[in-house]
Each structure stands twice: as C-alpha cells, then as structure tokens.
Structure 1
Amino acid sequence: MEQPGPAITFIDFILSLARTTAVHFGDIEEPETGQRLPPNLPAAAQMVEIIAMLQERTRGNLTEPEERLMDDLLYELRMRYVQAQQDDRRIVEP
C-alpha cells in the first residue's frame, strides 16, 4: 500500500497554480514533457482569475504570509499578463 505524501499547504497549492500560469505564459517548461509551449494567454488569464477568486474567497482566513504571497503573486502575474499582451502586438507597416 502506498504511503500518502506530505500534506500540501495552502502556499504550496497557490505556488502550483502560479507554476501552471507560468507554463501558459510560455515562461517555463511543461512538467510532463519538459518542453516550453507557445504562450496561451487566455489560459494564463483564466489562471490569474482563479487565483484572484481564491484570494477573495479566503479573505480573512489566511495567515499573514499567505496574504502577502497572494498579494505579491497576483501583482506579478497581472503585470506579466500586461507584458505578454504587449509582446504579442505586431507593428504593421504601410
């Protein structure tokens, strides 16, 4: 019989969501294949919204380090999304 792994913490869970978001941005390799995938901005945006929803739903129930992580992480992910949108723009020459 397999022994259960260590208990996952809330911070571990949020960081795993952030890692998935980074995969969708094309910033890191996909864990299963080890390959960097092309950016998928709609999927990245959805992950940011999921993390934001979790922040809203857990407000008042988090420790100070968890709250700080959520605030900092969402700020960084939102700024990364803005950057990704700008990187995707193309200049059209007449």
Structure 2
Amino acid sequence: MSDTDDTPKIQIDSDWKAQAQAEKEKLAAASKAEPGGDSPENTDFGGPGGEALPPANFETLLSSFVTQALFAMGAIPDPQTGQPALHLDLARYQIDMLGVLEEKTKGNLTEDEEKMLAGTMYELRTRYVQVANAQRGA
C-alpha cells in the first residue's frame, strides 16, 4: 500500500472528527435553547400520561444512571411497595456503567459535563461504600 492510499483514510478521519465536533457544538447550543424551541431535544413526544419527556442530552443520560443506582441503594422507594429495596449488585453495576461512560467519552465532554460526571461518580461511590458497610454491620 502506498502513501497515497493512506491519505484519503486520514482525510476521511479528519473530516469525520470535524463533523463530530460541529455536531457536538450544535447540540451544546441547542441544549441552551429555551424550552419549547426548535431544538430536537425540546420536541414534545409526550411521555406516559401525556407529560413532556426530558431533553435527550448528557445530563439526562447521567441522571438516568444516577436514579437507577440510588434506587438500587434504597435511597428511592419502590413505587409499587413504597418501601426501599436494597440491591447492591445492581447499584454497583450502574456505577460501573458510569465508569464505562466516563472512559468512552474522555476528551469528548465539555468541562462542565466532565465535572458533573466526576462529581456524580464520587458521590455515588461514597454512598455505595456507606450503604455496603452498613449492610455488612447489620
């Protein structure tokens, strides 16, 4: 294979990175748009019961993992029983999934998103250790 064969691949890679960066900037600008704006994130598809769905952005994705982890650690009661349920293996899994998210998005998040993810992971890990230690002592 000659150098000229490799050049288009490098160009394609550079073009892809430029396009991805442009889309990232577009999404960041759209997330700052007023609610109800023309942004795809603000499109009201309607959730269960007709309420608006949250925007499809990094913060909402992070929130989803956090909610699941807190539920598994008993911080959020089961909606059917009203009682907290403790599933440490599931909580650990959700925290590990956030670790995968952190690893795979390294260098692609805004500074605020990086801080949010790091702070969230620290808080969840700290809470997990506290809950696990309390469970062992019980």
The C-alpha deviation readout for 1:27-60, integer Å capped at 9, x for no partner, is: 0123x53723321100000000001100100000
- Partner residue in 2 for 1:88: 135
- TM-score, structure 1 normalization: 0.83
Return the structure number with greater helix share. Answer: 2
Cα gap change, 1:88 to 1:12, in 2 (>3 Å): same
Aligned residues: 88
Comparing 50-59 with 7-16, greater Cα deviation is found at: 7-16
Gaps of 5+ in 1: none
Q: Which has the higher contact order (CA 8 A, sep 6+)?
A: 1
Aligned with 1:68 (options 106, 115, 119): 115
Deviation beyond 4 Å, 4+ runs, structure 1: none
Larger radius of gyration between Structure 1 and Structure 2? 2
Counterparts of residues 10-89 of structure 1 (less than 5 Å):
10-30=58-78, 32-33=79-80, 35-89=82-136
The C-alpha deviation readout for 1:4-36, integer Å capped at 9, x for no partner, is: 246411111101110110000000123x53723
Q: Is the 8 A contact 2:73 2:87 kept in 1?
A: yes
Gaps of 5+ in 2: 1-43, 46-52
